[in-house]
Chain A
Amino acid sequence: MKILVVAEQREGKLKKHAFEALRTARTVAEQAGGQVVALVIGTRVQDVAATLGGYGAQRILTVEDPRLQQYSTTAYTRIIADIAKAEQASVVILAASALGKDCAPRIAVRLDAGLAVDCIALKVDGGDIIATRPVYAGKALTEIRVTSPVKVITLRPNVFPAGSSSGTTVQPEPVSIILSDSDFGTVVKETTQTAGKLDVAEADIIVSGGRGLRGPENFKMIEELASALGAAVGASRAVVDAGWRPHEEQVGQTGKTVSPSLYVAVAISGAIQHLAGMSSSKYIVAINKDKDAPIFEVADYGIVADAFEIVPVLTQEVRKLLGK
């Protein structure tokens, strides 16, 4: 079994989920008997690619071109599929990041491969891989098997452990792929990052506010608590629809599905659609003055009290603990 892992980089830095994907691939390869090859695409990525050796890559391939400074759906699809074929990889793994979810389906078609999306567990069964993935916004879990000889799998970020680097570096092998204009059918012209904000999809701790906060100005205390915890700010659908917070912060069935280590739900009642988006968080704290709020059914720890009284004190206590 040869597993090709696409290790995503942005602005010359490897994403944490690149290490998670590599570590997972290595675990699978050891159980099934096989080899792990990592692939990094971009410009001037040789040095950063070499570090993947510490996370389980046995070989590392790089594809560099000035036109790959930014992402391109069609170019990445072509590069990854061509290399998967050249390497005769039977499994291609990407993180289910925005980039991974964008190109994995196209890569799967090009490789005539079945696609397992946003998996939260992988298990080796004989020579096969059985994946567990959430459906209906996580209200159910399915075990699936990709029946085609080649399989494309995307892994949900922040679920599989990356572990720490063993320190091994592996010399990357640059691969020369001649890219023509027609490979760049879509081109990213620019990327705007919401300055300084940690995205809920990438955060390990999230503090979310709901309609119980009564108004957008009251989100300031949520932002302060988030800042003290090094957390991202999330929001319920109600406050996004009311225009208090941007859609990027919405957690829930028609927002983002998140699985952080800690989710703090402040003044959120816990509608089914919201729970669907966050109930797989490792630990959930609920702060709500309504003891019957459904959020308490999924919370590990709860305080039944007015959020306005609790949150500022919680921020203070967190700062004390973390020495801020």
Chain B
Amino acid sequence: MKLVACINHVPDTATKVAIAADGRSIERTGVTFTVNPYDEFAIEECLRLKEKLGGEVIAVSLGGDTHRETLRKALAMGADKAVLLKDESPRDSFAVACALTQYLKEASPDAVFFGKQSVDSDDAAVGPMVAEMLGLPSVTVVVKLDINGTTVTAQREIEGGRETVETKLPAVFTAQKGLNEPRYPSLRGIMAAKNKPIEERVPAAVSPKVEILSMRKPPTKNPGKIVGTDVSAVPELVRLLHEEAKVI
């Protein structure tokens, strides 16, 4: 099986976000970047499928040289090769999907995995967009996956429950937390990764369809009140919620 994991290099979730001077993006100095947490489930699922069914795992990322760090992590986990689509121009989900589709059309994989969303833009769109562009079925927010030949049974998370979805390969999946437990790269894996190839390609330029006009911090709240420090505060809290906040 040819398995591709599309992964992103994003600010660590512990980052305290500051707005950059351009007023449209975040300040990057002092920010630690890492593999998008949801993409680790994507890489892991590819590795498990390769272990079970044989084949090859390719990790792909769109970005600058800094993305090599994240591709090396995928290689260290066990991916066979990596591809860097080298482009740092601002892209919306559509433009990112175009670049990945350009590569995937040529690579022609059996299954493509994404994390369910990238924790920077939180669009959760690139995976299904790529699927549509490739004319393939997609299942998003996958928490369980079973592949039998070309038949796929997947469970995805919906409000208050789960849907069991059936489809056929080739297909695109976006991974949700809980799909698997991503392995830690072993020391041997880290060493081996240094010799695995990272192929570099330049994707075609694409005009985005969404323009960011401005970025700002969310409004700071007025300081709240400490109602009390023991059970005697409870009736007052309930009164405030009922009469002041009017939420109960």
Contact = CB atoms under 8 A, between A and B. Distances in A.
B185 interface: no
Nearest to B14: A272
Which of B162, B166, B210, B231 has its CB near the most chain A CB atoms (within 10 A)? Answer: B210
Q: Which of B119, B129, B209, B229 has the most C-beta atoms of chain A within 10 angstroms of its own C-beta?
A: B209
Contacts of A68: none
B14 A105 contact: no
A70 B163 CA distance: 9
B61 interface: no
Given A117-B122, A186-B137, A145 B211 contact: yes
A103 B128 contact: yes
Interface string B122-140: 1111111101110011111
Contacts of B211: 144-147
A303 B209 CA distance: 47
Interface size grouping (class) on chain A: 35 or more
Interface in A88-110: 97-99, 101-106, 108-110
Contacts of A261: 247
B26 A300 contact: no
Given A186-B137, A191-B162, A305-B233, A145 B218 contact: no
A115 B123 contact: yes
A24 interface: no
Interface stretch (A28-36, A39-47, A277-285): A277-285
A291 B228 CA distance: 11
A198 B161 CA distance: 10
A142 interface: yes
Contact of A262 (B16, B122, B166, B247): B247
Interface stretch (B48-56, B74-82, B186-194, B237-245): B237-245
A262 B241 contact: yes
B2 to A, nearest CB: 20
Given A134-B122, A136-B11, A140-B218, A73 B242 contact: no
Interface in A191-216: 191-194, 197-199, 201-202, 205
Contacts of A296: 224, 226
Contact of B161 (A189, A194, A304, A309): A194
Interface stretch (B62-70, B90-98, B102-110, B196-204): B90-98
Contacts of B14: 272-273
A41 to B, nearest CB: 16
A114 B209 contact: yes
A205 B247 contact: yes
B247 A143 contact: no
B149 interface: no
Contacts of B210: 114-116, 144-147
Contact of B132 (A109, A186, A202, A253): A109
Interface in B1-60: 11, 13-17, 19, 24, 26, 37-38
Interface stretch (A51-59, A161-169, A172-180, A313-321): A313-321
B119 A138 contact: no
Given A130-B213, A187-B166, A301-B224, A140 B13 contact: no
A285 B38 CA distance: 30
B242 to A, nearest CB: 6
A230 to B, nearest CB: 9
Contacts of B88: none
Contacts, number: 267
Interface in B137-169: 137-141, 143, 153, 156-168
Q: Which among B143, B160, B166, B208 has the greatest number of chain A C-beta atoms within 10 A?
A: B160
Nearest to B17: A139
Contact of A142 (B119, B125, B156, B215): B215
Contacts of A276: 13
A300 B41 CA distance: 36
A254 B13 contact: yes
B133 A305 contact: no
B205 interface: no
A1 interface: no
Nearest to B143: A247
28 contacts: A101-B124, A102-B140, A102-B156, A104-B125, A105-B126, A108-B94, A109-B94, A114-B94, A115-B209, A115-B210, A136-B15, A137-B122, A139-B17, A140-B217, A145-B211, A146-B209, A187-B167, A188-B163, A190-B164, A191-B163, A250-B177, A273-B13, A283-B247, A302-B226, A304-B228, A310-B233, A317-B238, A318-B248
